[in-house]
Amino acid sequence: MTHNTRLLRQRIGPHVKLMAVVKANGYGHGDGAAAKAARAGGADAFAVASLAEAVGLRRQGLREPILVLGHLSLIDEVHACLRWRLLPTISTLDQARLFHTVASRSGACLPVHVNLDTGMARLGVPWREGVALIQAILHLDGLQVEGVYSHLAAADAVDPSLTQQQQQRFDHVVAALTNRQPARFCRHLANSAAAMADSSLHYDMVRVGLALYGHAPAEHLEGRLALRPAMAVRARVTILKTVPAGTGVSYDHRYHTKRPSRLAVVAIGYADGVPRLLSNHMGVLHRGRWLPQVGSITMDQLMVDATDDPQLHTGAVVTLLGHDGTASISPLQWSQACSTIPWDILCGFSSRLPRLRAARSTRHGGQLTIN
Ligand SMILES: *Cc1c(COP(=O)(O)O)cnc(C)c1O
């Protein structure tokens, strides 16, 4: 991750800040470890989705600015922002008034980032109302507009037209504000895809998630940066058995052996985050060789056809995701096999899977290693 963060840092240059997005437990990698690795590579700030995630980072000793991307609207949440020095996202006037009231009662002036909805139809103030909202907040002495941002709906698309439309709307609001109000605030728009694709989208800061974990957000962006996947998922073979041709394997016998076969039971399953939809559509690596997974993936175990790998022995570690010799399996491959996206695969790994540093990476059952 440190390596990937350095690459991004070089790409955006010294005048653009790098906000590392470590929501959803650092995209499944462990948020504290991910944040510290990103910091070592030059990240200036962090973003998370929820208050609990932000407080979790503070408790793990991270002192950099933390932006909460999700919508906070309770009095206790305002107090928590003040207490833990967190940057809330403001999308509505009601929310701004509440934050102002609570902050000014505490004698504080809380820095906030205003989110503009320029085409995502999710969080954020509709962009046509953005100038009015921000002008109103400028009159609330409990709040200080430190940042103005928006989120792109299709920055990873080959066709840039939606991104261009969102950028025009963003520029329109920012220009209207800087005409009337010279005060400087931090403008940010780019996610990983935008940060990799187009420097005109960088503004004062980029908010990068997926790329820091070593994955390009789209096939056409692969190779733009020499990213290295931070995560590998491995598990142990616990039992090997030889079965005759025609043997039904796992629940509902969704696979039958076509020949006398050597089956390996591997101690990882869908409860760890291996999508059950990959049943009969994935494989594992052992010493650089790809072995097909067979039958339904179960909650805690999956079966592999090891007939062609006589060297595979009980206790061997196989690779489900990541590198093994010159071979590798990526979250993109998994996501394509089960009609989802790499983000969904990464943050689907459960807390049962121990997160280990790559250096000491042998363990029983499944494991997720990070470098
Ligand atoms: C998750 C998220 C990001 C990071 O997106 P990546 O594509 O993973 O880089 C950036 N901004 C917002 C608002 C997000 O929710």
Residue 370: strand, helix, or coil: strand
What angle, rounded to 10 degrees, do the helices at 75-84 and 93-105 form?
60
Query: Could you write out the DSSP letters of every residue in 166-220?
Result: HHHHHHHHHHHHHHH-----EEEEE-HHHHHH-GGG-TTEEEE-GGGGT--SSGG
Residues of the chain with pLDDT under 70: 180-183, 359-365
Q: Which residues contact 79 (CB under 8 A, 6 or more apart)?
A: 102, 106
Q: Tell me the CA–centroid distance for residue 25 and ligand 1, in Å.
A: 14
Q: Is 130 in the pocket of ligand 1 (CB under 6 A)?
A: no
Q: Which residues contact 279 (CB under 8 A, 6 or more apart)?
A: 250, 254, 293, 295, 296, 297, 302
Nearest atom in ligand 1 to the alpha carbon of residue 49 is: 15
pLDDT tens for 173-198 read 999 998 765 658 999 999 999 999 99
Q: Is 208 in the pocket of ligand 1 (CB under 6 A)?
A: yes
Q: Tell me the CA–centroid distance for residue 206 and ligand 1, in Å.
A: 10
Q: Is 191 in the pocket of ligand 1 (CB under 6 A)?
A: yes
Find the helix or strand (DSSP H, E) in which 27 lies: helix 23-27
> What whole-number distance in Å separates Cα of residue 206 and Cα of residue 194?
9
> What whole-number distance in Å separates Cα of residue 212 and Cα of residue 215?
7
Q: Are 23 and 11 in contact (CB under 8 A)?
A: no
Structure tokens at 321: 């995701």
Sequence-separated contacts (24+) of 216-222 with Cβ below 8 Å: 216/192, 216/332, 217/155, 217/156, 217/191, 217/192, 217/193, 217/342, 218/156, 218/157, 218/158, 218/193, 219/332, 220/158, 221/156, 221/193, 221/196, 221/197
Instruction: Write the CA distances from 1 to 69, 212, 230, 345, integer angstroms.
Output: 22, 6, 6, 18
> What whole-number distance in Å separates Cα of residue 222 and Cα of residue 330?
12
The pLDDT, as a whole number, for residue 153 is: 98
Of the candidates 256, 327, 248, the one whose C-alpha atom is nearest the C-alpha of residue 291 is 327
Q: Is 192 in the pocket of ligand 1 (CB under 6 A)?
A: yes
> What whole-number distance in Å separates Cα of residue 270 and Cα of residue 349?
9
Residue 335: strand, helix, or coil: helix
Q: Is 209 in the pocket of ligand 1 (CB under 6 A)?
A: yes
Pocket residue to mutate for ligand 1, from 69, 122, 210, most atoms within 8 A of Cβ? 69
Q: Which residues are catalytic?
A: 23, 251
- Give the residue whose CA is nearest to atom 15 of ligand 1: 69
- Give the residue whose CA is nearest to atom 12 of ligand 1: 151
The pLDDT, as a whole number, for residue 184 is: 81
Nearest atom in ligand 1 to the alpha carbon of residue 149 is: 13
Nearest atom in ligand 1 to the alpha carbon of residue 210 is: 8
> What whole-number distance in Å separates Cα of residue 275 and Cα of residue 341?
12
Q: Tell me the CA–centroid distance for residue 136 and ligand 1, in Å.
A: 27
> What does pTM read for this prediction?
0.94
Nearest atom in ligand 1 to the alpha carbon of residue 217 is: 7
Of the chain, the end-to-end C-alpha distance in Å amounts to: 6
pLDDT tens for 1-32 read 999 999 999 999 999 999 999 999 999 999 99
Nearest atom in ligand 1 to the alpha carbon of residue 191 is: 9
> What whole-number distance in Å separates Cα of residue 147 and Cα of residue 92?
15
Q: Is 207 in the pocket of ligand 1 (CB under 6 A)?
A: yes
Residue 336: strand, helix, or coil: helix
Q: Is 217 in the pocket of ligand 1 (CB under 6 A)?
A: yes
Amino acid at 211: A
The pLDDT, as a whole number, for residue 369 is: 79
Across the chain, how many H-helices and E-strands are there?
11, 20
Pocket residue to mutate for ligand 1, from 191, 202, 227, most atoms within 8 A of Cβ? 191
Q: Kindly calculate the radius of gyration of the chain based on its CA atoms and give it in whole angstroms.
A: 24
Q: Tell me the CA–centroid distance for residue 18 and ligand 1, in Å.
A: 12
